[in-house]
Amino acid sequence: MPVFVKKVFLWGSVAFLIYFVAFRPDSAAQMCKAIGAGLMAMAVGIGDFLTGVMT
């Protein structure tokens, strides 16, 4: 992918993130909580897997 296209996508994503947080802070907070909960669930699953492998 050309560098210009990557820069356009990057800056577009940053602009959308700023807009989302500025105009819908409650939705942005809920989205962050959901992402955090998903990451925690994955970490717990990996921990359970490693515990099962070690025992």
pLDDT of residue 50: 96
Cα 7 to Cα 14, 43, 54: the distances in Å are 11, 32, 44
Mean pLDDT of 20-39: 95
- For residue 30 the two structure tokens come to 């809920």
Mean pLDDT of the chain, nearest integer:
94
> How far is it, in rounded angstroms, from Cα 37 to Cα 49?
18
Please tell me the distance from the alpha carbon of residue 10 to that of residue 8, in angstroms, as a whole number: 5
**pTM for this one?**
0.68
Amino acid at 39: L
